[in-house]
A = this chain, B = another copy of it.
Amino acid sequence: MNARSPLAAYHDLLERPLLAILATTMSDGSPQATPLWFDYDGEFIRVNAAAGRVKDRNMRREPRVALVILDDTTPYRYVQIRGRVVKIIEGDAAREHIDHLSQRYTGQNWNPVKPDDVRVMYFIRPESISGLG
């Protein structure tokens, strides 16, 4: 990551296991927002959902999304990111990603309520970044 990158000032918020709030668009055009796990590979913000869930359907229909990550240690510090889902994958890689997220957030292997759910992994390319604090 280039030190001049707009993400640089908020890079710590992408590295820490904080919940992101993801905004997507419903089929009727209204916004939807939900907290979820994420990680950042230096290029993409990566999130994971069960196939068929609202946010899965929304991101397949409308790839433009927004994210907010609040700093849990500094009041009113946060980053806002608008971006686009540029890649969606299922299969082993998506399953490995939810295991990785579970380790990142809980220190334990993923223990799904519904083990038969098909996991889906989304790669979000940040396009507009701003923040406060």
This chain's copy number in the assembly = 2
A63 to chain B, nearest CB (A): 9
Closest B residue by C-beta to A58: B31
Contact of A21 with B by CB under 8 A:
yes
Closest B residue by C-beta to A18: B70
| A30 touches which of B76, B80, B82 (Cβ 8 Å) | B82
A108 to chain B, nearest CB (A): 14
Question: Contacts A23-B23, A25-B25: A70 and B35 contacting too (C-beta < 8 A)?
Answer: yes
Residues of chain B within 8 A of A31, CB atoms compared: 23-25, 31, 64-66, 82
| B-binding residues in A (CB < 8 A) | 19, 21, 23-25, 29-35, 62, 64-68, 70, 72, 76, 78, 80, 82
